[in-house]
């Protein structure tokens, strides 16, 4: 691959050369080589094979970081996360979806204060950045959503966040419900205040939880508003057979058909799960340009089923990956989701049904595509945002065969990768995680103090739940 040059000139930005790394670009042709990347400000300004010319590295504002023995990849893009639930990890195990929601999660979310929500978000973001995830689509809870925006702003993660919308008077708990008017107005207020902040690093979306929790009036309003504002719509659908039947009884329609009828589907819509879909559903998703987020760990743990990703891809539907929430996973680890995404399709469709490369694509390029951000993130290319991570594949289980670069490296990442491989993570050219001699570090987060706060916050939530009727 020849040297490329960024056509746009920056005003004397900070410059960092990342040199001597194995670069898996994830560009259109999936180029891979040993080379160097120049970061200027928040962008990738240069990519060269081998070392940069000496004249390019001169100047007091230029830093050189030797990454010999490291693999540079695009940061992971997770298109379905619940930061508000991180605090509930291990507090809602071994339940199916609707019981999990009604008996545990909705009660815990209703007990959140602004302070406990901040702790939950910090826990989640620390884990995400430390394991190479640089971009998330997050569904908040009903209240205190502004805390999530503030925490994402402070920690440096790239985030699209939506207030969770729940207004149905019969199918949601009274302590976790808005009026339709309040739900819509607060979502619009948050969008107008936060969307586009930090040069686009912080975005806002509209997040009706799922068809069961939202009135038809709310869904129709949100569909229109999101279309007007060109905003992402983030919801759940067809995750569980009981849920599918519930929606059928409630609306008289199949889940996907109902969402289309109320204006929720479209090229900026991202639906979590899609486990129970018909050929007609998949055709509708393709027709409307709606993306699906595959959440394999969550779907297995809640006994929801296994989404047929091969059928979705054959139908031309964009598919991305997400860990979902910590209490239904119980991890936010993108490596685990990639591995499961690859493995779960093989028994039904054969060993080549979902290759390591295809699973890798789901975690970066396809996630960016689902969010409408493929021109900005999802691959390492000149002019794109400098969102990337450095992996050290030097453990016994991940050491690839000598002499084979791309395929063996990707195989190691997908089939035996884990968060411990991540040595550094960048978002917008800024180091947001590093694992050095002093151990793992996310700037601005003291892990010892955070864990102490988490214990207190969990106790406060449990006490609050105990007093609920």
Residue keyed to tokens 């939880």? 209
What is the model's pLDDT at position 5? 39
Q: Is-contact 107 88, C-beta < 8 A?
A: no
What is the model's pLDDT at position 61? 82
Tokens at 153, concatenated: 């702003």
What is the model's pLDDT at position 404? 60
Q: From 436, 410, 385, select the one nearest 77 (Cα to Cα).
A: 385
Q: CB-hemisphere CA count at 13 Å for 340?
A: 21
Tokens at 294, concatenated: 């595959």
- CATH 2.30.40.10 range(s) for the chain read 4-74+382-441
Pick the CATH number of 4-74+382-441 from 2.70.98.60, 2.30.40.10, 2.40.128.110, 3.40.50.150: 2.30.40.10
44 vs 381: CA distance, rounded Å: 7
Q: Which H or E element spans position 458?
A: helix 447-466
210 vs 246: CA distance, rounded Å: 11
Q: Which CATH architecture has domain 76-370?
A: Alpha-Beta Barrel (3.20)
Beta-carbon contacts of residue 30 (< 8 Å; ≥ 6 apart): 24, 357, 406
Q: State the CB neighbour count (10 A cutoff) for residue 443.
A: 13
Ordered mean pLDDT values, 10 residues apiece, the chain (469 residues):
38 78 97 95 95 73 91 98 97 94 95 97 98 98 97 98 97 95 98 98 98 97 98 98 96 97 98 98 98 98 98 98 97 98 97 97 98 98 98 82 71 94 97 88 93 96 90
Burial class of residue 26 in the structure, from the number of CB atoms within 10 Å of its CB (0-12 exposed, 13-18 middle, 19+ buried):
buried
- CATH 3.20.20.140 range(s) for the chain read 76-370
What is the model's pLDDT at position 406? 63
What is the model's pLDDT at position 396? 78
376 vs 384: CA distance, rounded Å: 5
Q: What values do phi and psi take at 206, rounded to 5? A: -115, 130
Helix residue ranges per DSSP H, 356-446: 356-363, 365-370, 406-416
pTM of the model: 0.94
β-pair type (15-24, 4-5): unpaired
431 vs 425: CA distance, rounded Å: 6
């Amino acid at each position: 691959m020849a040297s490329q040059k960024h056509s746009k000139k920056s005003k004397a930005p900070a410059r960092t050369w990342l040199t001597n790394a194995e670069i898996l670009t994830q560009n259109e042709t999936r180029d891979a080589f040993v080379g160097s990347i120049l970061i200027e400000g928040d962008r990738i300004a240069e990519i060269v094979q081998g070392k940069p010319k000496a004249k390019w590295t001169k100047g007091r504002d230029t830093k050189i970081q030797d990454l010999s023995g490291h693999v540079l990849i695009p940061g992971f893009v997770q298109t379905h996360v619940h930061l508000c639930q991180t605090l509930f990890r291990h507090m809602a195990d071994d339940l199916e979806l609707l019981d999990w929601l009604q008996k545990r999660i909705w009660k815990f979310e209703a007990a959140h204060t602004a302070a406990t929500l901040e702790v939950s978000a910090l826990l989640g973001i620390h884990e995400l950045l430390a394991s190479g995830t640089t971009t998330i689509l997050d569904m908040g809870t009903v209240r205190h959503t502004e805390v999530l925006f503030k925490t994402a702003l402070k920690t440096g993660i790239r985030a699209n966040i939506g207030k969770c919308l729940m207004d149905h008077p019969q199918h949601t708990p009274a302590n976790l419900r808005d009026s339709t008017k309040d739900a819509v107005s607060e979502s619009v207020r948050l969008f107008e205040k936060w969307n586009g902040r930090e040069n686009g690093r912080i975005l806002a979306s509209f997040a009706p939880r799922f068809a069961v929790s939202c009135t038809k009036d709310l869904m129709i309003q949100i569909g229109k508003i999101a279309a007007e504002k060109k905003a992402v719509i983030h919801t759940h659908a067809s995750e569980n057979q009981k849920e599918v039947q519930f929606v059928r009884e409630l609306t008289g329609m199949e889940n996907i058909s109902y969402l289309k009828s109320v204006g929720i589907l479209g090229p900026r819509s991202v639906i979590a799960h899609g486990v129970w879909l018909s050929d007609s559903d998949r055709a509708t998703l393709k027709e409307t340009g709606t993306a699906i987020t595959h959440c394999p760990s969550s779907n297995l743990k809640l006994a929801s089923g296994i989404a047929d990703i091969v059928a979705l891809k054959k139908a031309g539907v964009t598919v991305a990956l997400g860990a979902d929430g910590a209490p239904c996973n119980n991890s936010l680890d993108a490596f685990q989701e990639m591995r499961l995404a690859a493995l779960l399709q093989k028994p039904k469709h054969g060993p080549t049904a979902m290759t390591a490369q295809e699973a890798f694509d789901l975690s970066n390029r396809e996630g960016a595509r689902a969010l409408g951000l493929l021109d900005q993130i999802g691959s390492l290319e000149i002019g794109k945002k400098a969102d990337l991570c450095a992996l050290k594949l030097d453990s016994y289980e991940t050491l690839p065969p000598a002499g084979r670069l791309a395929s063996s490296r990707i195989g190691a990442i997908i089939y035996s990768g884990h968060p411990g491989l991540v040595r550094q993570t960048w978002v917008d050219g800024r180091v947001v995680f590093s694992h050095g001699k002093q151990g793992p570090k996310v700037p601005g987060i003291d892990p010892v103090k955070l864990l102490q706060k988490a214990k207190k916050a969990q106790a406060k939530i449990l006490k609050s739940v105990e007093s609920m009727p």
